[in-house]
Amino acid sequence: MEKGFHKWLQNLIVTEFLRLDDGGIDAAKFNSKIRTLCAARGKADYENQPIVRPDALKAYEMSVHTKSLLEKHFQL
């Protein structure tokens, strides 16, 4: 876990998506959305800039889509 627990967990989830989702479409969607969320979190936590409404709404939308993908494949 050289790059951290979150990165390890993301890779594990993507691997499971690939195993469960023939074709990997949802795996690619998840990977894209989780990267967007990670970037938004990094900006919010480590940059000295205000978070503007469009960025906040985009992050919220990505989280809703990510949650939907997880529920679909992992019966959460």
Closest CA to 74 of 7, 9, 6, 8: 9
CA distance 33 to 51: 18
pLDDT value of residue 66: 93
pLDDT value of residue 73: 85
pLDDT digits (tens, 9 = 90+) for 27-67: 899 999 999 898 888 888 888 888 899 999 999 999 999 99
CA distance 57 to 11: 25
Which one-letter DSSP state was computed for residue 50?
P
pLDDT value of residue 2: 53
pLDDT digits (tens, 9 = 90+) for 6-23: 889 988 998 988 888 777
